[in-house]
Structure 1
Amino acid sequence: MTDAALAWLDSLDDAQRADAVLPWPSNPERLRWHYTPVDHGGLHLGRMRPRQQSLAHQLLATGLSRAGYVTAATVIGLENILDHLEEWRVTWDRERGRDPELYWMRVFGDPASAGPWSWRFGGHHLSVHHVVADGEVRASSPCFLGADPAQAPLLGGHLLRPLGAAEDLARDLVRSLDAAQRAVVVLSPHAPNDILSGEQPRALVPVEGLPAAELDPGQREQLRALLDVFLGRIPEELAARETARFAGDRLLEVRFAWAGGLERGEPHYYRLQGPRLLAEYDNSQRDANHIHTVWRDPENDFGEDALAHHRALFH
């Protein structure tokens, strides 16, 4: 990750670098994040030469698993499909309303130094963050992936569904519940119109739903598979560290909550919550064909907890 960051930074000219890099820690800018089609801060792909774009993608790929990177690249490509669906409308006072080059990279601090540094890559429906200190990744959240359209036709009658597993596994789980379990899990027959944590630097969402302790063994395996869809978006060694938090009996503390319809095509929402865990999913917009998902560590988003520990040890 450090090598990829330095390679990208070394490729930039002075004007590009002025927008691409901010000193550490640059709060509150470092804690600002979006998943909407606005300026995410930094240097966007449209201002990079092709080789620089490749280097930016190489850095992005170090922060995601192979499946996570494929999903992120598909999310970026969906901007072309969305532009088509919206009949190529020009909006937001720019030449192209939906633009796959409007994804921004920014580095905070100096990856070559011994001190903490971080980076983010984001644009419409994509936001990836990593914090590095003492040569190790200390935080990888918030991590947002969205899809609009959530499904689109492919040749031969197949569908492009980049977040299909996040939808199908959760629906299978909620439909496996008996009446008593479902009465606790289903918070409302109506889905909210977005994830509840939004674009806030701190994730403040009520803890609700059914704990895994009240699921049967088969349902717990379904819950674990669903959790892996969120944790598996980051590199394997980092995902293994996160997954270890929910090994054995610690999975029993994870709660599952749902709102909205149970049939495919109906607006719906769910979340998983547990110690240092918030995973949210919403598919309620554009006739339930527009998905937002986010994985967060409410105690350590942007590395705030890890960095406080670092400061206590070394300063």
Structure 2
Amino acid sequence: MLRNQIDKIRLLFRKDKESYFCFYKILGFYPRNIQLYQQALLHKSTSIRSEKGRPLNNERLEFLGDAILDAIVGDIVYKHFEGRREGFLTNTRSKIVQRETLNKLAVEIGLDKLVKYSTRSSSHNSYMYGNAFEAFIGAIYLDQGYERCKRFMEEKIFKNYIDLDKMSRKEVNFKSKLIEWSQKSKVEVSFELIEQFLDEDYNPMFHTEIRIEGISAGKGTGYSKKESQQNAAQAALKKIKNDASFKEQIEATKAQNHLPENTEETDELTEETLIEENLETILPVENPETDECKGE
């Protein structure tokens, strides 16, 4: 509280105090390093560069914010749902940190009006605001620390916009999302039940693996085939989102898997056709009528 009052007094002597007040309305406290928050709102399409000539955008802060957000939401969910299974806690956290939810939260607190981007990129980047929200969390963490960041999520976000009990009951179909992605990306996805066993209480458990173009993309366990598929799909989507080398591997395998079949036969046919065409060009075509005339 005292720290906030000191920061407020300092603001009176700053030229950019309007920006500080703008962030104060969202955060509930005054930033110490306002550049962090400004950078959190810079989409990579803005092409802004630092004094050293390096690209300046929110991607690094987004990476950090993603990890911090996972930890904070996991902490809050764990304490709220005492005694619930790990699978339930994981699913509930995923519903909160998924892009659709973060996108809505960014709009709710007004970040969408502050994000800087090129108009060209906005048309095909529907999760730009959700990404900015993650970057904003990263900025809070670097500027104020974990506890302040957690307090912001509890007091400003969960208290006003998220009903944990309602959210936990919300159905999120990760399998459908993965299939939709595969269709857009034109890759083959398979769901394979690789194991069925009993847990400590003799309840049946299912273990599913997802393969994309034959490559293992994620595994999931559940008390039904459907639950195991959902958990596996969730793991696969997270890997697709965070692992650039995995996506490159998929593209390379896709290109290899979808090469034209019977290329040797095709080559032979093409060669034969070319030979025939060349022969027709070189050799005169016999005209039956001409031959008959000659015979006469």
Q: TM-score, normalised by structure 2?
A: 0.28
Structure 1 or 2: larger strand share? 1
Larger Rg: 2
TM-score, normalised via structure 1 length: 0.27
More helix by share: 2
Greater length-normalized contact order (CA 8 Å, ≥ 6 residues apart): 1
